[in-house]
Amino acid sequence: MAPDHLRLLVADDEPLARRLVRDYAARCSGVSIVHECVDVATLATALERGGADAAMLDIRMPGRDVFEVLGEIRQRQRLPALVFATAYDRYAVRAFEMNAVDYLVKPFTESRFAETIERLRGYERLGTAVDGVPRLLRDLGRRPDRLLVPEGRRIVPVAISAIGWIQAEGDYARIHAGNKSYLVYRTLNELEERLDPAEFLRVHRSAIVRLDQILEVEPVGSGRYRVTLKVGGTTIVSRGRAQALKRLIL
């Protein structure tokens, strides 16, 4: 690595996530992205090719288990400094077993990205990572208060408190917040993990609603209900989720 210049590999199957890191890196002095990987196979190829001082990796990508592949490559050659950036906090222990320099919980801010870059520079200078556990516990100890979503060519934050409901649209999800909606490349399962179950309920395989946005609940037969929302729109509560809804709102 040239003095104070960091060559970064980015691996994430979500185009929006890679674009966000590119935008952050472009505004961070002395950082260049030398590889972009969209799955575990392209990550393995890029790591074996070398040329990166650090790798910022999502954990859940198409292909083999990321940790297994990293372990195999580490037996043959030196890995770059590792940073894991993911929405899934349950992988944190495995990440630090790989001697990760940092662990970013999505969505992360530009200032948090800049902190990670400084940690990576310190790692390169000193050859060891500063203990990241206190920072990790701080980040994992709270739920995110916003989601980063695409709006045209921009990426904008949407407050969790502004979300009225979310509906599935194929491989995407449409987030309804105020008088706007945003289409994101995420499954409802992924979004559900990031929302407070005391505030949001998965009422159907294709819908999540914010409980305090429910205006009316109407039975429609066969144990199902129709929910009308304050922000506009209706959705069906499946028979399997009806009891959970009753417990939370009655």
| Architecture in CATH for domain 6-140 | 3-Layer(aba) Sandwich (3.40)
Residue 132 reports pLDDT greater than 60 = no
Least confident of 42-46, 140-144, 154-158: 140-144
Whether 85 shows a pLDDT value over 70: the answer reads yes
pLDDT tens per residue across span 157-175: 788 889 999 999 988 899 9
CA–CA distance, 126 with 191 (Å, rounded to integer)? 38
- Domain 6-140 and domain 146-249, same fold? Reply is no
Residue burial 43-80, b: 16+ Cβ < 10 Å; e: rest: bbebbeeeebbbbbbbbebeeeebbebbeeeeeeeebb
Give just the sign of the alpha carbon dihedral 55, 56, 59, 60: negative
Q: Where are the domains of the chain?
A: 6-140, 146-249
Q: Which CATH number fits domain 146-249: 2.40.50.1020, 3.60.110.10, 2.60.120.650, 1.10.287.70?
A: 2.40.50.1020
pLDDT of residue 201: 93
